[in-house]
Amino acid sequence: DIQMTQSPSFLSASVGDRVTINCKASQNINRYLNWYQQKLGEAPKLLIYNANSLQTGIPSRFSGSGSGTDFTLTISSLQPEDVATYFCLQHNSWPYTFGAGTKLELK
């Protein structure tokens, strides 16, 4: 199985900060990487698919990059409503696997 190592596990940042979250795959997954946002008590929401494509309706301050084994989710200017846990998902091969999550809080 492909292991997804996500970092950091916890992140504290201020409104307006540029925030980056990383995911590293244990083997090449090309660009088959999605990012999800999960707010407290809610279902996950797809933000980015195939490493760098913005899902419809998601603000442009969210972006994704990377290919192969190393991927990054960037929030260009953190907003209060971005407080959430963020997960990556590899869908290159079965079984699909998620990163452990990054909990983002406001400083």
Partner 1 sequence: EVQLVESGGGLVQPGRSLKLSCAASGFTFSNYYMAWVRQAPKKGLEWVATISTSGSRTYYPDSVKGRFTISRDNAKSSLYLQMNSLKSEDTATYYCASGRTFDYWGQGVMVTVSS
Query: Residue 94 is which amino acid?
Result: W
CB of 48 to partner 1, least distance (A): 11
Of the pair 16, 42, the CB lying nearest partner 1 is at: 42
CB of 65 to partner 1, least distance (A): 18
CA distance 16 to 13: 9
Per CB under 8 A, residues contacting partner 1 are 34, 36, 42-46, 49, 55, 87, 89, 91, 94-101
Measured over the CA atoms of residue 94, residue 45, residue 7 and residue 71, the dihedral's sign is: positive
> What backbone phi and psi angles, to 5 degrees, belong to 3?
-95, 135
Of the pair 1, 18, the CB lying nearest partner 1 is at: 1
Cα-Cα end-to-end distance for the chain? 36
Of the pair 69, 90, the CB lying nearest partner 1 is at: 90
CB of 45 to partner 1, least distance (A): 7
